[in-house]
Structure 1
Amino acid sequence: MKKLVLLACITAISIVTSCKNDKKETKEVEKQELPVTEKFVVKPEATSIGWTAYKTTDKVGVAGEFTTVDFDEKSGSTPQEALNNLTFSIPISSLFTNDPTNTRDTKITQTFFGSMIDPDFIKGTIKYTNNTCTALLTMNGVTNELPLEVSITDERRVKLSGTMNLKDWNALEALEALNKVCFDLHKGADGISKTWEDVSIEVSTFLRKN
């Protein structure tokens, strides 16, 4: 009888131990099988905003940039998801054209943007869905769509490019004011002074992973 009781106890202990081991192994397997999800994060310090305006009838480019852009940190499981609904704000005071005299920067900020309803900021939101990208851009009190072409390399380096037509933001009066203060500088070989309505935009950013 004692042998039977001892055998039953050993059997019970073996079953309990086996169950604990099975549970431990199951938890370890479940833990190992959990997918590791990486997130793409858009960082302002990794973003540059360049632009090219044009002068003279030969359409000579004048390049510049905004050295500062502010936006809420945004992440996503894909570059498209990270960029979609990304809101941004660009201080006009960060405009830079690499002009040694700084007179060009002053004319653009004070005369061109200074003629606008909001002379301090350009704001917007990027919409990137179904492989179509646009920026809902607010400038001079007007919000309009700016279609953007997207180039993504290695899933991390992103370039967005597009062309603004200033009339879509009611900015032709501001453009005329700029052309007046730059009248002689915007003359070509034909003697005609011209400042073009279209401005090329190129945004470059590097998506970090976390």
Structure 2
Amino acid sequence: MKNLKLIALSIIMISAISCKDSKKSTEETTTDVETTTPQTTEGTYSVINDSTKVSFVAYKTTDKVAVGGTFKEITLTNTGEGKTALEALNGTKFNIPVSSLFTNDVTGTRDPKILKFFFGAMKNTTLIDGEFKVAADNTCSIDVTLNGKTANIPLKYTENSDTNASFDGVMNLENWDALAAVASINKACEALHTGKDGVSKTWSEVAVHADVLFNKK
């Protein structure tokens, strides 16, 4: 009888330890899982129209030297409300006057060259038009119309705070049949776009960035 009691006690202790280890394992697994959905808290979100900022980084020389700039004006239309920031943005349309280009060039010569030899070498480029899109899995992108053609740019979404988000993507200008415009600006800036290897190059790849603020009720 004494031996039976000892065996029963051992079984109870082993079961308790096993349950504890199992719970710990579950907690560790849960902690390791990365959440891909937006972490916005419950509420009603809407875009603050005049707060959106758009910037870009273009590249020159074979060393891929960055040249940054912004567009000082952007108009949003078709804005709505949503339970998340992304839902509020979905379907929002925008247009950007290319004349609002600003690259902070102290010589004052860069912006006029870009407007004349890059945008001026394309069709219908008074405005850059687009629409923000959100898929069912919360991936987002923008349709951009430039040079008379519309193409899509996938975006990386970063939630900086509950009411502040940023978006990053890469615009490959060949998707807008704009390589002639790239060649045009490269020719106009041939000396400035020549690197140590003696080669003049303007990249067709442009990094795009946007910061968006939201109201939350």
| TM-score when normalising by structure 1 | 0.80
Deviations 1:40-64 (A, max 9, x none): 1212321110100000010000000
CA distance in 2, matches of 1:92, 1:42: 23
**Equivalences for 1:94-133 in 2 at 5 Å?**
94-129=100-135, 130-133=137-140
Q: Quote the offset at 1:76 in angstroms.
A: 1.9
Corresponding residue to 1:201 among 196, 208, 212: 208
Q: Quote the offset at 1:206 in angstroms.
A: 1.1
**Equivalences for 1:1-210 in 2 at 5 Å?**
38-72=43-77, 73-129=79-135, 130-210=137-217
CA distance in 2, matches of 1:157, 1:123: 23
Residue 139 of structure 2 aligns with an amino acid whose one-letter code is: T
Identity of aligned residues (%): 42
**Runs of 4+ deviating beyond 6 Å:** none
CA distance in 1, matches of 2:139, 2:83: 18
Structure 1 SS opposite 2:87: helix
Q: Unaligned regions of 5+ residues in structure 1, if any?
A: 1-36
Structure 1 SS opposite 2:175: helix
Corresponding residue for residue 16 of structure 1: none
CA distance in 2, matches of 1:182, 1:94: 21
CA distance in 2, matches of 1:119, 1:186: 24
Residue 160 of structure 1 aligns with an amino acid whose one-letter code is: F
CA distance in 1, matches of 2:162, 2:88: 11
CA distance in 1, matches of 2:61, 2:115: 20
Deviations 1:84-112 (A, max 9, x none): 10100000011000012221000111110
Structure 1 SS opposite 2:125: coil
Residue 185 of structure 1 aligns with an amino acid whose one-letter code is: L
Residue 52 of structure 2 aligns with an amino acid whose one-letter code is: T
Q: Quote the offset at 1:128 in angstroms.
A: 1.1
Count of residues in Structure 1 that have an aligned counterpart in Structure 2: 174
Structure 2 SS opposite 1:81: helix
| TM-score when normalising by structure 2 | 0.77
CA distance in 2, matches of 1:146, 1:61: 20
Corresponding residue for residue 34 of structure 1: none
Corresponding residue for residue 17 of structure 1: none
CA distance in 1, matches of 2:48, 2:108: 29
CA distance in 1, matches of 2:80, 2:197: 49
Corresponding residue for residue 5 of structure 2: none
Q: Quote the offset at 1:153 in angstroms.
A: 2.8
Q: Unaligned regions of 5+ residues in structure 2, if any?
A: 1-41
CA distance in 2, matches of 1:111, 1:75: 40
CA distance in 1, matches of 2:48, 2:127: 19
CA distance in 2, matches of 1:121, 1:196: 22
